[in-house]
Amino acid sequence: MEKKDINLIILVSNLSKSFIIIWDTKDGIEVMGEDEIINEYIEIRFTELDEFMKWGREYLANIDMKYKSS
């Protein structure tokens, strides 16, 4: 297992707190679901793992900011 795979697993476990489903497809990674923390429905497809990882870090930072402001 590569480091990127481990990071992906950690990111997925963190995101699951927000009721978002993430799955790997032949065409990339899809993210879909209702995020009750930021009150948004999310539906995104990534073709590159690095794009997904970047989005995931930004997403988690936004959630963290939301918690700190409440």
The residue among 6 and 43 whose pLDDT is bigger is 43
| Residues paired with residue 29 on neighbouring β-strands, in sequence order | 24, 46
pLDDT band at 65 (very low <50, low <70, confident <90, very high): confident
Residues sharing a CB contact under 8 Å with residue 67, sequence separation 6 or more, in sequence order = 37
Assessment of whether the complete model's pTM goes beyond 0.75: no
Residues sharing a CB contact under 8 Å with residue 52, sequence separation 6 or more, in sequence order = 8, 28, 29, 31, 46
CB 52 within 8 A of CB 46: yes
